[in-house]
Amino acid sequence: MAANSRFAVAAHILSLLHVNEGSRITSEYIAGSVNTNPVVVRRIMGMLAKAGLVRTSPGVAGASLARPIGEITLLDVYRAVQAEDGALFAIHEHPNPDCPVGRNIQSTLEASFLRAQLAMERELAGMTMEEVVLDLVGRT
């Protein structure tokens, strides 16, 4: 797989942590639900911890949510597992500076692309992990 499924896996992990609150589930258990390798889970869990969404302790199972689940938005999760850059769309580098179009295309597109990205992020910010979990259990 080359597609980035970290966002989805992160949401899956947070859902499991909430549903199993108090149980002390291991990365191996989580990996069993996600159907991947425990290392992948620990890696993503590390990103969630660095972003302040979960609390983990070395050597001890059972990570816990660092905030009420209703206060964790999908945007928080998205940002936690995204690369440094954070740009949704890439722009080709080094267009020809001697061409009127090439000289300005980057800054122009950057602005347009940013608008689209912000619209997407606004929508993500409007959804919480609580809604995700509620939908999840509602489907049984």
Partner DNA sequence: ATTCCCTGTAACTATAATGATGACAACTTA
Partner DNA sequence: TAAGTTGTCATCATTATAGTTACAGGGAAT
23-52: which residues touch DNA (CB under 7 A)? 26-28, 36-40, 42-43, 45-46, 49
Binding characters for DNA, 7-26, by CB under 7 A (x = yes): --x----------------x
> Can you tell me the distance from the alpha carbon of 74 to that of 137, in angstroms, rounded to the nearest whole number?
18
List the single partner that 69 binds among DNA, its own copies, none, CB under 5 to 8 Å by kind: none
Which listed range, 11-19, 48-56, 57-65, lies at the site for its own copies (CB under 8 A)? 11-19
Question: What angle do the packed helices 27-34 and 38-50 form, to 10 degrees?
Answer: 110
Question: What angle do the packed helices 27-34 and 6-19 form, to 10 degrees?
Answer: 120
Q: Token digits for 94?
A: 């080094």
DSSP, res 59: T
Point out which residues bind DNA (CB under 7 A): 1-6, 9, 26-28, 36-40, 42-43, 45-46, 49, 56-63, 83, 90, 92
